[in-house]
Amino acid sequence: MVYIVVVFVEVKPESIEAVKKRLSEAAKIYEKDPETLEWSLRQDVSNPQRFTIIERYERESSLTEIHKKNPIFPETVAWLREQVTKPNEPHFINA
């Protein structure tokens, strides 16, 4: 079974480029984490302020036991909270 997290994020217009850069760099680090199958960022074509983060893990506990313990996680989350226009919309899926 694969555990999938899909997060919808809407950012301030002035933050679009910074979010793309910062989360693309974070993706390169997160994808090296054990049990991480994918960590990617996609930008909405009709609304450039809206991004989708796609995370795929080997198991549900990979999210809490590995991903959230990555040294860049707390700093990245705190920074992203300052860039958004509304709360993130996370969705959790077992596949």
Which domain CATH number covers 82?
A: 3.30.70.100
Domain that holds residue 77: 3-94
Q: How do residues 30-44 score in pLDDT, each as one tens digit?
A: 999 999 999 999 999
Strands (E), 3-66: 3-10, 36-43, 50-57
Per the structure block, which two tokens stand in for 20? 């793309």
The pLDDT score that the predictor gives to residue 32 is 98
The pLDDT score that the predictor gives to residue 76 is 98
Q: Is 43 helix (H, G, I), strand (E, B) or coil?
A: strand
Euclidean distance between CA atoms 18 and 44, whole angstroms: 16
Give 27's contacts (C-beta < 8 A, 6+ positions apart). Answer: 39, 40, 41
Q: How do residues 42-80 score in pLDDT, each as one tens digit?
A: 999 999 999 999 999 999 999 999 999 999 999 999 999
pTM: 0.94
Look at the chain and report how many structural domains it folds into.
1
